[in-house]
Amino acid sequence: MLKSIASRIGQTLIVIVGVAMLIFFLLRIVPGNAVATMMSEHADAATIARISAELGLDKPWYVQFWIYITGALHGDFGTSYALHRPVKELLLLSFPNTVKLAVLAALVAWIIGVLAGIVAAQKKNGFLDRIFMGFSLLGVSMPVFMVAMILQYTIAYKLHWLPISGGDSLKCFILPAIALGWNSAGSIARLTRSTLLEVLQEDYIDTARAKGRSQMGVIVLHALRNAMLPVLTMMALQLSSLLSGAVITETVFGINGIGRLAVDAISGRDIPLLQGTVLFTTVLVVLGNLVADCLYTVLDPRIRKEA
């Protein structure tokens, strides 16, 4: 098992280095000029040359790459061209909001998704099954921005139960978390239902029933553990992608998160900020995947044995 985990860690490191190189070279290939964007109306050739030299953009690519890589290894991604602040500072400012939003959204998705999936499986083709699957279909198919706007209009604007936008308190994150988590809840509910139904057909479930276990006992103690393996993978992937920034939700609810930071960096061709956000979120995503793989290894004895 340790060998398998070590191998996955090695692959993770390769992915991170690969993305670091890819983002560096891509940003130097795509058209557009960060200095021209910064200087806007004042971008004559002499000014562009002067500012480029100040930012080190006139140095050979390998020198720039060395500065970028050695800096990144020390957590230094440089200074944002547009915001005039160290990228590290901006990431640290945005990340707590993204974590808060992602964790709450994940909780919404996991709790609602798993419970809905279990109930739907237990009441297969029944009334509740149809209701929950109907809602999960809505969750999967409705765009996040639409859910966000409906919640904002009904819950915040008309009923005044929660704030429309902004703020640091937990209640300011409830609507964004529901908007963001609903989509994931739909997927989890459908997956939980289908895997649970599959597992409930297994022989060992019949054995458990024959031993006199109640239906709930069978599901919780025997079926759920096996049914949760693919669900767990999906959860981990969803969490890591939620942590990499939910641009639309952050924009609609005015949350200062990683997603908004990345979009600003892209439109302004803010190279250090873009490199920083991409690398930072890459690390989060691959670490999320790594954790999922490790959990999978721990939870599934077959994989443990193979490893």
Partner 1 sequence: MKKFAVLLLVLAMVFSFAACGGEKDTQVDVEPGLLRVAMLSDMATMDVAQTTDDYFVPMNVFDRLFEVKVVGDGVTDIVPSLVDTYSAADDSVTYNFTLKEGLKFSNGSALTASDVQFTFERLLTAGGVNDDIPLEVLGAAELQAGTADTLAGFVVADDLNFSITLAAPNAGFIAELTSPAISIVDKETFSEGFGMKIEETIGSGPYKVTEWVVNDHYTLEYNENYWGTAPTATKVVVNIVPDPSTQNLMYQNGELDMIDLGELDTSIVESTYKTKYADKIITSRRVGLTYFAMNANDEYLSDINVRKAIQMAVDRDAIVAGIFNNQATVEHGIIPAGVWGYNEDITKIPYDLEAAKQLLTDAGYAEGEVTIEIAMDSTSSSGTQLVIQVIQQNLIAAGINAQIKTYDESSWLALRNSGEMDCFVATWTMDYNDPANIMYTFYGSEAKTKIRSLNYADTEVMARVAAASSIIDDDARRAEYQALEEIIVIEDAAWLPLYENTHLFAIGDRVADFTPHWAGYTNFYAIDMIMK
The contact set with partner 1 (CB under 8 A) reads: 30-34, 36-37, 39-44, 48, 50-51, 54, 82-85, 90, 93-94, 127, 130-131, 134, 149-150, 152-160, 164-166, 168, 251-254, 256, 260-261, 264, 266-269
Write phi, then psi, for 44 (nearest 5 degrees): -75, 165
| 3-class state of residue 201 by DSSP | coil
CB count in 10 Å sphere of residue 30: 8
CA gap 30, 7 in Å, rounded:
34
CA gap 300, 305 in Å, rounded:
9
CA gap 177, 185 in Å, rounded:
11
Spell out the residues 6+ positions from residue 246 whose beta carbon is closer than 8 angstroms to its own: 98, 101, 102, 105, 144, 176, 180, 257, 259
| Torsion, CA 250, CA 252, CA 255, CA 256, rounded to 10 | 70
CB of 216 to partner 1, least distance (A): 24
Tokens describing residue 162? 């929660």
CB of 157 to partner 1, least distance (A): 5
CB of 83 to partner 1, least distance (A): 5
Select 250 or 293, whichever has its Cβ closest to partner 1: 250
CB of 245 to partner 1, least distance (A): 13
CB of 288 to partner 1, least distance (A): 25
Select 131 or 295, whichever has its Cβ closest to partner 1: 131
Select 181 or 257, whichever has its Cβ closest to partner 1: 257
Select 198 or 264, whichever has its Cβ closest to partner 1: 264
Select 150 or 220, whichever has its Cβ closest to partner 1: 150
